[in-house]
Amino acid sequence: MDGVFEGYASLFGVADLGKDVVMPGAFTDSLRKRDAGAIRLLWQHDPATPIGRWLSIEEDRRGLRVRGRLNLAVERARDIHALMREGAVDGLSIGFRVERARAERPTGLRRLEKLDLWEISVVTFPMLPGARVESVKQGLPSLSSSIRAAAVRLFS
């Protein structure tokens, strides 16, 4: 399937640039009540710019592992897909509501223990630098690019 990509939208136990640390199990209840299809796939957290849908979202030992598919019938999603394939855009970022957190005064960190996850965005600059797209399916070339490539081979 063209437009499919995978990565980690959140990593457990790692402080983001805002000093938030997501704890293991923080998404358990949210994922139990809301499946991957109900969590929006957005561009830069903009609710007016959905770009596809999540195929799977799950917690593993490392963090929140995601697999999504860009809707390549949408122009913005095609642009993002091209940028992702080139490695120019590879950030992921979560949109959530905090249900339970604990502040640590000496470190200034906020430990996020329970979150209501409602969207995950592809972003240019993620708050958690390690939240990244790890693989992007290349898919089949378009008919026009295949014809162009054949013409170059034949007439060069």
Q: What residues are labeled active site? A: 45, 93, 119
CA distance 85 to 68: 14
- CA 130 to chain CA mean position, Å: 12
Residue 50 corresponds to which tokens in the numbers above?
A: 């959905």
Scanning the structure block, which residue is given the tokens 């790692």?
14
CA distance 113 to 9: 16
In the 8-state DSSP scheme, what is residue 96? E
